[in-house]
Amino acid sequence: MQFKNSMNLKIFSAYLIVSIYSLIVFAQEPGKLDKLAKDESAFFKNEESHFFSNAYTQNYNILFHQLIFDINPSILGIQGIVKSYVQARENGINAIAFDCSHILEIDSIKDNQHRLNYLLDANDVLTIDLSKTIMMGDIDTIIIFYHGIPISTGFGSFQQTFHNDVPSIWTLSEPFGAKEWWPCKQQLEDKIDSLDIIINMPKGNLAGSNGKLISIDSSSTITTCHYHSNYPTATYLVGVAVTNYAMFTDTVKFANDTVPIINLVYPEVLEEEKLLNVEFSNNMHLFDSLLITYPFAKEKYGHAQFGWGGGMEHQTMSFVSHLDFELGAHELAHQWFGDKITCSNWRDIWLNEGFATYMTGVSYEHTYEGKWWMTWKGNLMRNITRVPGGSVYIYDDSTSVERIFDGRLSYAKGAMLLHMLRWKFGDVLFFQALKNYLNDTSLAYKFAETANLKNHFETLTNNNLDEFFDDWFYHEGFPTYHITWKQNSMNMVNIVVRQTQSHPSVSFFEMPIPIYFKNSFMDGTIVLNNTTNNQEFNIQLPFHIDSSKFDPELWIVSANNTIINLDEALQADNLVIKSAPNPLEKELSVEVITEHAGQARILFTDESGRIAIDQKEELFYGYNQYKYDVSTLSSGYYILYIKANNDSYRRNFMKP
């Protein structure tokens, strides 16, 4: 292999960015998750990452990066220094590699004493000849000087945008964009043990980045912001943002820690952003009480405003479009799920995004008197069930940005998977399992996969969750429940639960299911352990039912469910028919549950016999629903006739 001879050029500073998340921007009322996910997907509809997995980064660990960046927001481009302490993982190493875009220009590379030869190839692999051999456990120093105008992949690895005609430069490296603007080790297998980040910029600007803010020096014509972190950091979670920020600070007090909060916002919206941020400390306390103490309490948390329509959970300082309640809750939750414990591969991205999405919902559950909790769950449920298939687990080659950040699957369905685990085990065990997961020393400040989370739930609850994860995580779709019930004079309720599945990958979803019954004086919810199809239950109630509802609190991902009182419907040997509403409004709905496929004839006439509807319909096993427009019918009386599988049904209707 031929190496390019290093050249000692002018040292500038560079800039580094690291992970992105993006998804939710709703002020107080939830509901924009789906829109933002669609926007992001559309942005990358025709773009696949060109990430090349670099096998030559596997023979060493990153112990320390010092990153020195000179950034002028008015100029798109970077120049910088990346100083690294690397430790050999094996014996006999004489070369190592970094991930680095071939668009960047390497000025020179050296160790503590000598210039080193290197080769930067078209696959973005920067191979460095160490000019010596190091053994397992040995530590070496590598210093890379570089400059260039980075290209942007993913969500915008290195960007120049404008606010109020003022330039801003920011980074967002998730999933594969870090190498576009700084030489690094990009794979999800080695966190940087500690970081020193120094940003030089023209006076009048400030910079946001990871770790504790050590100093801001504006004594000369430039301003230097110095940040330092002693917490392990995944490469994609490093970020830098520079513009003429206004800063406002706060502190959040916990039992044993006081965490500084640093907010960098555009000066023209300073007062507005202060108002939007009023609920932030409440969410920090909420997550502290439900989970564990903020994972980076010895350094800080903060926000830096940036020119992208979402947010990115850079460790200890999230980049956000605005300090909205929901966006702020989502990015804050990532500090536990995604930053402290990071998914070990992009196939398991739900461990980051599903958790952050769910904890956002939990924020709504405990804020504004829970006003938006049901709305939030309903929005997610509709998003998930608008398409019949799709697994939370990613089965493709994991290089599609669009698939990794699929709002319906990685975010919404991942969040509701957690919600269903909470339903199965209750609040106490659910949140204790999360605490055990977060405190696991083999995972804390490291990487995790789905099996690690599953193991914590199984160990704590003494339950085998193979089937649950097979159905809801690895396979596709969701159930539709068709429930019939009948109550006798002694208030004994006979319930039959039928289920259909939206996708053939799952033959049956086993779940405990809630059914709510009430009358004018009493009500109650019963929970049935639904393990087989057409399962029958007999439940004694202390009151006579006048109405019922399936899963009123939205615990289970499902759609198009029905619950029918047989006293209000025709029941033949193998057929249940219900029609509504009466009096008629704009639409006539006919529901048929049958154990035999076949054909039905729907005939709807006025009292004189004039036909309004005459329709032959296919009958499928299980639940069938047919809807007919009756909005143009005149007022009067009508008769519905149904013939299906040798059974007949007649009902009179009135149209006011």
* pLDDT per position as a tens digit, 355-399: 999 999 999 999 999 999 999 999 999 999 999 999 999 997 656
H or E element: which one contains 422?
A: helix 414-439
Give dist(CA 639, CA 612) in Å, integer.
Answer: 10
Q: What is the value of pTM for the model shown?
A: 0.85
Among 17-31, 234-248, 567-581, 628-642, the range scoring the smallest mean pLDDT is: 17-31
Alpha-carbon distance values, 601 to 595, 610, 620, 626 (Å): 17, 16, 14, 11
* pLDDT per position as a tens digit, 388-413: 999 999 997 656 888 999 999 999 99
Give dist(CA 604, CA 616) in Å, integer.
Answer: 12
**pLDDT at position 23:** 32
Mean per-residue pLDDT for 95-112? 96
H or E element: which one contains 355?
A: helix 350-366
Give dist(CA 141, CA 130) in Å, integer.
Answer: 10
Residues 70 and 201 sit within 8 Å (Cβ to Cβ): yes
Q: Quickly count: other Cβ atoms within 10 Å of residue 275's Cβ.
A: 8
Give dist(CA 110, CA 141) in Å, integer.
Answer: 8
pLDDT value at 254 more than 80:
yes
**pLDDT at position 400:** 83
Q: Which two tokens stand for residue 470?
A: 């097979």
In terms of Cα–Cα distance, which of 583, 620, 582, 579 is closest to 602? 579
In terms of Cα–Cα distance, which of 240, 216, 213 is closest to 227? 213
Give dist(CA 101, CA 149) in Å, integer.
Answer: 10
**pLDDT at position 196:** 98
* pLDDT per position as a tens digit, 24-79: 233 345 555 554 444 444 433 333 444 455 667 899 999 999 999 999 999 999 99
What's the whole-number average pLDDT of the chain?
90
CA atoms within 13 Å, Cβ hemisphere of 454: 15
Structural domains of the chain in order of their starting residue, each with its CATH number:
33-370 (2.60.40.1730), 479-568 (2.60.40.1910), 570-655 (2.60.40.2550)
**pLDDT at position 242:** 98
Peptide bond into 583 cis (omega under 30): yes
pLDDT value at 15 more than 80:
no
3-class SS at 375?
helix
Q: Which amino acid is at 367?
A: T
Peptide bond into 581 cis (omega under 30): yes
3-class SS at 48?
coil
Radius of gyration of the chain (CA): 30
Q: Where do runs of H (alpha helix) occur along 490-636?
A: none
Query: Strands across the sheet with 523-530, in order?
Result: 523-530, 511-518, 547-550
- How far, rounded to the nearest angstrom, does the alpha carbon of residue 150 sit from its chain's CA centroid? 28
Give dist(CA 585, CA 591) in Å, integer.
Answer: 17
Mean per-residue pLDDT for 10-32? 34
Give dist(CA 41, CA 404) in Å, integer.
Answer: 10
pLDDT value at 92 more than 70:
yes
* pLDDT per position as a tens digit, 475-489: 999 999 999 999 999
* pLDDT per position as a tens digit, 214-224: 999 999 899 99
- How far, rounded to the nearest angstrom, does the alpha carbon of residue 459 sit from its chain's CA centroid? 25
Peptide bond into 232 cis (omega under 30): no
Q: At what angle do helices 373-385 and 414-439 cross, to 10 degrees?
A: 120
**pLDDT at position 307:** 95
Give dist(CA 155, CA 171) in Å, integer.
Answer: 9
**pLDDT at position 72:** 98
Strand partners, 477: none
**pLDDT at position 276:** 86
Among 396-410, 447-461, 508-522, the range scoring the smallest mean pLDDT is: 396-410
Among 331-335, 408-412, 625-629, 644-648, the range scoring the smallest mean pLDDT is: 644-648
Q: Which two tokens stand for residue 277?
A: 């941020």
